[in-house]
Amino acid sequence: MLRTVLPGLLEDIGTAMTRVGPALELAEIAHVRSVGDGVAEIVGFTGLHPDELVIFESGVTGLAANLGEARTGVTVLGDTGRIRSGERVHRTGRAVDVPVGAALLGRVVDGLGQPIDAGGPIEAEARRAIEQPAPRIMDRAPVDEPLQTGIKAIDAAIPIGRGQRELIVGDRQTGKTAIALDAILNQADSGVLSVYCAVGQRASAVARVIAALRESGALERTVVVVASGEDAPGLQFIAPYAATTMAEHFMRQGRDVLVVYDDLTRHARAYRELSLLLRRPPGREAYPGDVFYIHARLLERATHLRDTLGGGSMTALPIIETQAQNISAFIPTNLISITDGQIYLSPALFEKGQLPAIDIGASVSRIGGKVQLPAYRAVAGDLRLFYSQFEELETFARFGTRLDEGTRKKLTRGRRVRDVLQQTERDHFPVPEQIAVLLAATEGLLDGVAPGAVGAVQQAIRTAVRDRMGALSARIEAGETLSQSDLETLVDALRDVVTAQESHGHA
């Protein structure tokens, strides 16, 4: 009996042993040689790719930066305090990627696309690498559609188009973030989605921006990417690229997207810190030699795609902080040469209480009137020239020389235009109301209005446009050209509004 059973039993045991035998898994593993503030040095990899994602045994991720035969410098994308010398490091074989899609709208995420709000996990449509090639020249279409900010000084004198890259530059605490935030809030009815990327900002400042977006209902159409000043410099470095990838996904679906980078000065500083820790050769102001390239490859991804590719657009509003109004410093000049214009905020105007503190003479849009509605060109076509001449004339008038009647009239009109261009935060002017108010100022209808009463007259004009000029407003928003008779009719109507308001004020 045993002789008949034993062969089959041994065969079953042999088969079972082959099934439960140890499986060999090939993996390339390195070890941490040293770890510092934001970077680590590892040894053991032989086939690592540039910018490849690696995972430390502690769960922290890193980005391969300096590849060498003996050792590799890694930018740590997390808390270096969790990494210990000697621990294992594993390759992933992939680049850093982030989730993309509509599930991100209304969410606050970090530079890796991980949620940092209380909204739970993100069910993304897909994941895309943060580094993507910029669209080819043949894939781009002309920038010919306006992106209205609701700010009169910008929409009338420094217009922004969908697909443009417009730099916001100025000293600290001059209102740079407020302008970018107003541009986001003004897209409620335009169908434009927004991505706000905070780099190196204080947590309290970011919280205020998120609160403003939530209060106005704009957070539902906005993705907020945060790499605060308390985060690792590696996370601060990759955050703008992650935000751009999220925006690109919507652009390639045919949507219009607005991306705000707040701000690229701190982004450049984070990259400088990483480069010095990785022992890369320093250049001007200790920045590495490729600091221009990191911003060029980022902003070149903003464009307007041709119709065959969906016709989507990505508009970039990078923010740069200057010191002591030094617009010719290294990073500001780099960004000015990359972008399609700049909005310069003057500390002198801010101190005078002229808000927004936009210096129209020092600001420029290289797209210009190509993206403006025809009504703007008819009403505010010479606004920049007129305003520059007024400021020069006002400077000479301070010397106390005797002025003739014509000069005094020019000064009065210039001051009324300046009063009209002032605007409080989150007070967005629709296009027809901007046209009416600017026309009243440039045609001299406000010359006789006392400076303190300009705000009330302006509000009366806005009310009249909403209540009594619906047909004309629709034509303006539709992009129709206003004829001379249209302008004369509008001026007569505005004159009646101003006269009625002045009579009401005197009464």
The residue-averaged pLDDT of 262-278 equals 95
Q: Is residue 2 part of a domain?
A: no
Calpha distance 62→235 (Å, rounded): 10
Residues that are catalytic? 366
Q: Are strands 222-227 and 193-199 parallel, antiparallel or unpaired?
A: parallel
| pLDDT at residue number 2 | 44
Whole-angstrom CA distances from 426 to 167, 182, 192, 278, 421 are 20, 6, 17, 44, 14
505: β partners: none
Question: Cβ–Cβ contacts within 10 Å for residue 5, how many?
Answer: 9
> Last residue of some domain: 340, 372, 404?
372
Residue 80 lies in a domain: yes
Q: 231 and 173, same structural domain?
A: yes
Q: Please name the residue that has the structure tokens 């041709």.
A: 306
Nearest by Cα to 267 from 278, 275, 256: 275
For strands 126-129 and 97-100, give the pairing.
Answer: antiparallel
Same domain, 366 and 484: no
Task: Kindly state whether residue 16 falls inside one of the protein's structural domains.
Answer: no
Per-residue pLDDT reduced to its tens digit, 205-233: 999 999 999 999 999 999 999 999 999 99
Is residue 493 in a domain?
Answer: yes
Q: What is the largest CA-CA distance in the chain?
A: 132
**105 falls within a domain:** yes
On average, the pLDDT of the chain sits at 91
Is residue 246 located within the same domain as residue 354? yes
For 42-67, what is each residue's pLDDT tens digit?
Answer: 998 888 898 999 999 999 999 999 88
Domain count, the chain: 3
Residue 237 sits at φ, ψ, to 5 deg, of -70, -40
Task: Verify that 54 and 147 share a domain, yes or no.
Answer: no
- What is the distance between the alpha carbons of residues 315 and 148, in angstroms, rounded to a whole number? 12
Give CA–CA dist 257/249, Å, rounded: 10
Residues 304 and 285 in one domain: yes
Here the CATH number for the domain that contains residue 431 is: 1.20.150.20
Out of 50, 72, 94, a domain closes at 94
Same-domain check for residues 301 and 442 = no
Let me know: does 161 contact 146? Beta carbons within 8 Å. Answer: yes
Q: Judge whether 383 and 438 are in contact, CB under 8 Å.
A: yes
**407 shares a domain with 334:** no
199 phi and psi angles, rounded to 5 deg: -120, 120
Predicted pLDDT at 217: 95
Whichever domain contains 60, its CATH number is 2.40.30.20
What is the rounded distance in angstroms from the CA atom of residue 136 to the CA atom of residue 125? 25
DSSP code of 165? B
- Nearest-angstrom CA–CA distance, 223 and 381: 35
Strand partners, 224: 108, 196
Of the listed ranges 1-5, 270-274, 330-334, 420-424, the one predicted with least confidence = 1-5
Q: Are residues 147 and 284 in the same domain?
A: yes
Same domain, 429 and 306: no
CATH value at residue 177: 3.40.50.300
The residue type at 152: K
For residue 5, tell me if it sits in a domain.
no
**Residue 7 domain flag:** no
Domain boundary among 372, 402, 422: 372
pLDDT of residue 13: 57
Write out pLDDT tens, residues 402-429: 778 888 888 999 999 999 999 999 999 9
144 and 284 share one domain: yes
Q: Clarify whether residues 182 and 318 are in a common domain.
A: yes
- 3-class DSSP string for 171-185: ECCCCHHHHHHHHHH
In this structure, the answer to whether residues 144 and 244 fall within a common structural domain is yes
Domain of 466, in residue numbers: 378-506
Instruction: Give the residue ranges of DSSP H helices in 233-302.
Output: 233-251, 264-277, 291-299
- Domain-embedded: residue 206: yes
